Each structure stands twice: as structure tokens, then as C-alpha cells.
Structure 1
Amino acid sequence: MDNGSGTTSPPSEPGTPLISVTLRVTLAAIMIFMITIGFLGNSIVCLIVYQKPAMRSAINLLLATLAFSDIMLSLLCMPFTAVTLGNADWSFGSGFCRASIMLYWLFVLEGVSILLIISVDRFLIIVQRQDKLTPHRAKVLIAGSWLLSLCVSLPSIVGWRTGTAGVGDVWVPQCVLGYSESVADRAYTVLLAVAVFFAPFSVMLYSYMCILNTVRRNTLRVHSHASEPSCLPALNQVSKMRLIGLQRPPQIKVDMSFKTRAFTTILILFVGFSVCWLPYTVVSLLAVFSRQFYYSPAFYPISIGALWLSYLKTVFNPIIYCWRIRKFREACQEFVPKSCRLCPRMGSRSRRRVRPSNIYVCSETQSAV
């Protein structure tokens, strides 16, 4: 059977996917489990920020927005993908097919925008020593990111010749931007790829490289300050008082631990973003530009693997929050019934709130990184 590319489809059974029914149903069931975990985990994050005024800092508002975009992705996109995986056929009409593509890219773009804002904020705090992100400014940035994401994703709902599962000889795990020879379609696909992955990845990579360089230089300054007193002769009273200010091992340990843990959490989110979105971005570009790849038998299993990685981020983020952020972990325990808790909640000492920019400043009388 001719598939439109000048080649002939396999003579076995045209129009059938290469993955067995049992495997497809198993993958659909696992995706339902991912939907449940992603919805519950991200909902807890949103509830924590909504119910606790003390948690409504600028960074927590951004994390709650990221969780909300993952919730919408879990509810409005993943269930239809699971059904399509099980049935190997899109049963929701061509109109909703275009709408699902627009919703998918909308929530993906919003999540990427939030990660980009967080990365730039960390860059300003650590490298530029500027802590300018307030809750009000965070809300303005959140509203702007939603508007920008909507403007970028909206063209995919009109005028695109979409490929759906079970159309001709092309099998895909959900509605995707299929192969097109139109210059406008290809230009829009490149715009999506740049907006979703390449531009944010470049900015975040540059930010984190600068942050790592700054952290390394500040760490060397701390070690050099700590080693100076043992090499100096007897000093006058003023110099001794300055050295007392320099010799603060406990303060250095506390600030270093806070700095390392906070930055490592954001860095883990960046690595997760890169691993989850690079394969699907590459597959989307190949599907639109390469006719041979789009109509090949390998497209269906490859697109399933790439799609799974992109959806895995909705489950990945709340797990990282509870693992790395102590306040989120303690707040999550309040949503767990007492009979289900593995260990009793231990009281913790309250700490004074500090400005994030102060954590990364090295002064003459206090070496805090």
C-alpha cells in the first residue's frame, strides 16, 4: 500500500502499530497511574501555597504556578493520550485534536517560562547580588507568562493539517504536528522548538554556569579567609577584632549548606527539564521536516518514548519539592492522616527570615557565601 512517499508499507497488515495490544494497554495503565501521582502531588503544592500565607513568597508563587500548569497538563492532555494508547485510535474528533495540541503546548510553554523566571532570579541574586523579585512582581511575571504562552500556542489550533492516530499508515500516540511542506507550518514548528526548549535551555545554562563560577570564587574566598589567621604574627587589638569576625566556622557551615541545597534544587529541576523535553522537541522537528521519518514504522514507538519523557516531568517536580524543600515536606505531612504517618512529627526551631541576596554576600567582617 502506497503511503504517499513513494514507498510501500509492509505487506503484513497496513495501518497497524508495531507495538502489541498488551504492551499498549500496559503503557496506558501506567500513564493513568502517572496522572494520579502528578495530579495529587501538584495539587498539594498549590494547596500549601494557597492555605499558608507564610508560604506565599515570590519563589513559592512561581513553584505553585508551575505545579498548576502540570495539573492542567495531567487533566486535559494525558487522559486522552492514555485512551489513544489503549485503542490505537483517536476517538475525539478533529476539532478537539487541534485543541489538544494547543493545550499541550500552552501548558508546556507556561512551565518552561516559570523555570526560566526562577533561573534568572537565582542569577540576579547570586551573581548580580540583586534581590528584586517580590510577590507582586512575581504575580505580574506569571500573568505575562500565561499571556505569552497563549499567544505562541494559539496558532496551532487553526490552519494546521494535524496527524491523528490511525489516519492512513501513520500511527501516533496522540494528536501531533505532522509532516508538512508548508513554509508557514515549518516556521511555526521552529518557533515552538525555540520557545519551548532551545532559547530557555541556552539562557538557563548560561545562568547556571555563571552561578557555579560565582559559587566557586566565593568558596575560595571563604577558605582563604579562614586560613589567614594561622599564618599571621601577633597583631594589635583592632586587627584581632577583625580576625574574630573572620573566624566564624559555624556561620560558614550554615550559610554554605543553605546556599548549596537551594541552588542544587533549582539545578535538579533544570536537569529534569532538559532530559524530559529534548527528545520530544527533536522528534517534533523531525516529524514536521522529515517525510521519511514521519511515515516510517519507527515513528510510533519513538514518539511514544519521547512523549512519556515529556509527561514524566509532571510527576518529577512534586517529588523534587518534597525531597529537597523542608517547608514543603513539613506542610505535606499536614495533609496526611495521622494514622498513615510513618513517624511522629518532630518540632523544629524557628529561624529568622533573611533576604536571599544576603546569603551570597562576602564582606570583610563576615564570610557568608
Structure 2
Amino acid sequence: MENSSTKDNTSLDFRTLAEYVTPTTVWQDPIQGLNLPLQVFLCLVIICVLLLAFLGNMVICVMVYQRAAMRSAINILLASLAFADMMLAVLNMPFALVTMVTTRWIFGEVFCRISAMFFWMFVLEGVAILLIISVDRFLIIVQKQDKLSPRRAKVLIAVSWSTSFCLSFPLAIGQPALYIPPRAPQCVFGYTVERGYHAYVVLIMMVFFFVPFLVMLYTFMGILNRLRHNALRIHSHPDSICLSQASKLGLMSLQRPFQMNVDMSFKTRAFTTILILFSVFTACGAPFATYSLLSTFSHTFYYRQNFFEISTWLLWMCYLKSALNPLIYYWRIKKFRDACLDLMPKYFKFFPQLPGHTKRRIRPSAVYVCGEHRSVI
């Protein structure tokens, strides 16, 4: 075996890490030292993540597709995000799970490159959708501009899918080349001194995490500042705000101030949902982005003996986001929760359903809300 210093790092041929290590290098088994019950427990957890990512996101897509009332602009964007997460669960997670169990990639070089293209395409699409929704919330709450219609949402989805495909397609043809280290969970970015390779990895990491993180952080800080300013204004001058709204309704002939309750939940709840999605994206994406950069630029990190362990755990942490998103939708968005319960078979429902005439269509307090135009997810 040739020494790594004699290899040509500028070659775009498909290479394995075995060509770069010396004969004296001993690779540790990633599950060495773990007893059998713990190994079984970890596999069961990963299988649950896979099933939840597939079934949960499939339900979201089916609800938006079947119900015309669910096809608002934001819901269409959320359906696109769910579709990307569902396809990630179908085309990537099973093969990563098999590789984790067998501790070796057994699906061939060509499929490894294709799976890497799918992985980055679906991940970049999910980030793009989350960025679009964050900017839309910023425009509505801060700039008072509600310009996102279902038609524009579909156009943005088409543009985001096209951009994600263009950025990830070079991986499928080996430009830049990807590496399969011994017992790796999937094709990964490997260490090299080639500047073009470095530039591509930096571009992917900027588009995948760093730029969206900064943009979404800016939008959320602006939204929080606006909500804080509105709350202070409402608490400081409640009568003047209500009288201003009453005058617009032609109610100035009343002898006493018009009493109203101010409800900001229609803004804060939708914003809080997006903020939770952003927090999950940051917690799951930041370690994986850092790991990818270290693999490309750090010789010591890429050739360390526990590289498979690190890459496996960080990869499944990135996959975890796809499983958590449906749970967040169900928890935070009432429309999705009600639609999910309606789709559930009757023998799975433990609580009796109320008759249609007893269901409240609106909250009584909504009639007396003193606020701006509502925007509901």
C-alpha cells in the first residue's frame, strides 16, 4: 500500500480511505466495548427515527394534498419540507442503518455517490423551505407585507428544488470525488489539499447551514423586537389603541371607551412554531456542518481511528431533524392536529368525537380582538 504522501490529491477518481493509511494503522470497531443489549437498543432507536420520519412526513403530505382547505401558502411550503424529509428517510436512512450494523458500505461506489447527491439535495431543500418561511414571517410581522400566495409559494418551491439539485448533482458524477472510509455510514467529504474541492465543500456548508442560520437569526431577532415593541405599546396605551380601532369601525358615538381584549397569540404562536423548527435545525445541523469542514481541512481528524463513530452519530443527529418536524407540526399547528385525527381510523380513537353542531368554529374573544390582520399557519 502506498503512503498517503505519495498519492495525488488532485485526482477526481473514486478512492477509499484504505489507500491513504499506513499498514500500521489499526481501525477500531465502532461498537467495540458495547454489550449486546445496548447495541439492540441503539438499533431500535434508529429504526424508530426512520419510521417516524417516513410515516409522519407522509401524513403531512397526504393531508395537504387531499384537503383543499389546507392548501394555504405556508402549508404548501410545509408539505414540500415534509416531502424532502420523507424522501430522505426512504433513499438514505435505510442504507445508513445497514452500514451501521455491518460496519462497512456494501452497496457499491456508484450508488454511494448517488445516495450522497440525494442526501444533500433533500437537506438543502429542507433548509431552503425553512428559510422562505422565516423570511415570510418577518415580512408579515415586521414589514406588514403579506405577499406570499399559494401560487408564489409553488414558484419558490420549484426554484428551491432546482437550486438544490444543481448544487448536489456534481457529487453523483464524482466532481468532486467522495471517499468511502472503511466502515463509513455513507459517502463523505474527505481530506484533500485541492483548492477546488475545498471551495465546493465551503459552498455547500455555507448554503446548508451558515448563511441560512444568519438570515433566520436576523429575521427572528427582528420579529422578537417588533413583538416586544407592540406589547409595550399595548400595555402603555390600551384605551387609545382601542379607541383608534373603534373609530375605524364608526363607533365613536359611544359615551364610554370601547373595551376590547388584545390577543397577540395569532402572531406569536405561528412565530414560535417556526422558532422551534429553527432551533431543531441549528441543534442538528451545526455539528454535522462542523464535522464536514473538519473532514475536508483537517488531516488529523479525518484519519483518526474513531472517525466512523463520529461520522455515524453526527449523521443520525442530522437525520433526527426529519423525525422531529412532524411531531412539531402535530404539537403546534391545530389544523394539522385536527386533520391527523380525522385521518386516523376509528378504532384508534380513544375519545368520542363531538357532534358537528357543538364544535366551536371561532373563539368568542376573537370578535373583540383589537389587532391587525390575522395570518394563520
SS at structure 2 position matched to 1:361: coil
CA shift, 1:240, in A, is 7.9
Q: CA deviation at 1:4?
A: 3.3
Q: Is the 8 A contact 1:106 1:149 kept in 2?
A: yes
- Paired residue for 1:57? 72
Corresponding position of 1:4: 4
1:265-304 map, 5 Å: 265-304=273-312
Inter-partner Cα distance in structure 2 for 1:360 and 1:95 = 57
Q: Which one of 183, 196, 214 corresponds to residue 202 of structure 1?
A: 214
Check the 8 A contact 2:28/2:305 in 1, yes or no.
no
Partner residue, 2:154:
139
State the 1:243 CA deviation.
6.8
Alpha-carbon deviation of 1:343?
1.4
CA contact (8 A) 1:161 1:180 kept: no
TM-score normalised by length of structure 2 = 0.83
Within a 5 Å distance, the mapping from 1:227-306 to structure 2 comes to 241=254, 244-245=257-258, 247-249=259-261, 252-253=262-263, 256-306=264-314
- Quote how far apart the aligned CAs of 1:5 are: 7.0
Residue type matched to 2:47 in 1? I
Amino acid paired to 1:272 = V
Shift of 1:33: 2.0
Please, which of 7, 14, 18 is the counterpart of residue 30 of structure 2? Answer: 18
Following superposition, the deviation at residue 300 of structure 1 comes to: 2.1
Matched, 1:86 2:97: no
Task: Check if 1:317 corresponds to 2:325.
Answer: yes
Question: Contact conserved, 1:25 with 1:85, CA < 8 A, in 2?
Answer: no
Determine if contact 1:65/1:142 at 8 Å carries over to the other structure.
yes
Taking a change above 3 Å as real, the CA distance of residues 8 and 99 of structure 1, as seen in their structure-2 partners, is closer
Alignment match of 2:179 (pick from 163, 170, 176): 163
C-alpha distance in 2 between matches for 1:243 and 1:293: 73
Aligned Cα root-mean-square deviation (Å): 2.7
Amino acid at match of 1:17: D
- What letter matches 1:270 in structure 2? F
Q: Percent identity?
A: 50
| Distance in 1 of aligned mates of 2:206 and 2:49 | 27
1:348 aligns with 2:354: no
Cα distance in 2, alignment partners of residues 50 and 239 from structure 1 = 47
Shift of the alpha carbon at 1:180?
Answer: 1.7
Distance (Å, rounded) in 2 between the aligned partners of 1:265 and 1:117: 14
Q: In 2, distance between residues paired with 1:188 and 1:359?
A: 51
User: How many residues are aligned here?
Assistant: 339
In 1: Cα distance, 2:349 partner to 2:144 partner: 41
Contact 2:190 2:295 in 1 (8 A): yes
Cα offset, 1:159, TM superposition: 2.6
Selected match of 1:97 from 88, 95, 112: 112
Q: Which residue in the other structure is 2:247 paired with?
A: none
**Structure 1 residues 8 and 326: alpha-carbon distance in aligned structure 2, compared to 1, 3 A threshold:** closer
Match of 1:222 in 2: 234
* Residue 332 (str. 1) matches residue 346 (str. 2): no
Indicate the residue corresponding to 1:367 in structure 2.
none
User: Which runs of 5 or more structure 1 residues have no equivalent in the other structure?
Assistant: 230-237, 353-357, 363-369
Q: Distance in 1 between matches of 2:190 and 2:236?
A: 58
- SS in structure 1 opposite 2:257? helix
Distance (Å, rounded) in 2 between the aligned partners of 1:40 and 1:340 = 16
Name the counterpart of 2:12: none
Name the CA distance, whole Å, in 1 between partners of 2:4 and 2:189.
17
User: What amino acid sits opposite 1:284 in the alignment?
Assistant: S
Q: Which residue of 2 aligns with 1:235?
A: none
After superposition, give the CA deviation of every residue in 1:223-243 in whole Å (9 maximum; x if it has no partner): 1122779xxxxxxxx978497
- Asked whether the equivalents of residues 38 and 71 of structure 1 are also in contact (C-alpha less than 8 Å), the reply is yes
3-state DSSP class of the match of 1:349?
A: coil
Question: Is residue 186 from structure 1 mapped to residue 201 from structure 2 by the alignment?
Answer: no
SS state of the match for residue 314, structure 1? Answer: helix
TM-score, normalization by structure 1: 0.85
Q: 1:86 to 1:68 in 2, by over 3 A?
A: same
SS of the aligned residue for 1:172 comes to: coil
